[in-house]
Amino acid sequence: MRALLMSLALVAAGVPADAFAAGSVPARSEIRYQVYLGTLKIGEGHDVFQHDGRSYSVVSESRTAGLAGVLYRLNIRREAQGRVTHAGLRPDRFSETRNGNPERSATFDWTKKEATLIDNGASQTVALPDDTWDTASFSYNFAFAPSESIDLDAHLTDGRHIHKYRYAILGRETIDTALGPMETLHVKKVQEPGDQRAFEVWLAVGQHNLPVRTRYSGRDGRAFDSVVTQITFPVQ
């Protein structure tokens, strides 16, 4: 039933359902981004996503560059590994380092329905809801199992907590990139009253539904935009 609903939703959105089969997603994808704060370029990003139809890994790294790199050095690296299932990606491990120093991590035990979260050395074990992803895996899940409705409930963790969020599937949108105009599927977090943290992702319809733009806003209202500059599918 889930597969049928998914296919119907994709047809309604104008997206071919078979475009999201695991076999159609390249075994290795590399995406490079430019990172902006407003209109000011402050850094660069590089993602490497790999899978063999059974397991996957993603390494996402962003760092300040140019004048911003001189004034404030910041290198954030997120890594995740997990399994490819019929329902999409299921993470097993996640870690984040900043300037080479371990910050946070998460280990998922799906048998016990528990997750072990470590934040700056402090460890806690919490309940693990279904449909939980880490912040490195979430955007890539749409390449394997897009939502079957216009709203998607998801639990996310960055190693500190697991929170439930709702995302709206806003439909197709053409965005400007260094690669030219790209047709995308726009997904946006639904912000509850008082929630100042925003997140949006644009998924390239013609590039296996991979994330080609993300926008994050923190409590201070500053918006960080990562926009694709290069996509490659190297063969190992």
Task: Compare 11 and 152 and report the one with higher pLDDT.
Answer: 152
Please give the backbone phi and psi of residue 112, each rounded to the nearest 5 degrees, phi first: -85, -10
Q: What phi and psi, each to the nearest 5 degrees, are found at residue 155?
A: -100, 130
CA atoms of 209 and 144, how far apart (whole Å): 9
Prediction pTM value: 0.85
Tens of pLDDT, residue by residue over 85-123, are: 988 999 999 999 999 999 999 999 999 999 999 999 999
What domains appear along the chain, each with residue ranges and CATH number? 2-232 (2.50.20)
- In 2-98, where does DSSP find H-type helix? 2-13, 66-71
Q: Does the pLDDT value for residue 57 go beyond 90? A: yes
Query: Tokens standing for 112?
Result: 């016990």
Distance CA 83, CA 76 (A): 24
DSSP 8-state class, residue 21: S
Range 67-88 burial, b when 16+ CB lie within 10 A, else e: ebeeeeeeebbbbbbbebeeeb
Cα dihedral: 66, 69, 74, 80 (round 10): 20
pLDDT at 5 over 50: no
Residue-level pLDDT at 236: 63
Residue 6 CA to residue 30 CA, distance in Å, equals: 27
Cα dihedral 80, 81, 87, 88 sign: positive
Span 128-143, average pLDDT = 95
Could you report the per-residue pLDDT of 196-224, keeping only the tens digit for each?
A: 789 999 999 999 999 999 999 887 778 89
Report the SS3 class of residue 235.
Answer: coil
Give the confidence band of 12 by pLDDT, cuts at 50, 70, 90: very low
99 three-class SS: coil
Strand partners, 106: 94, 117
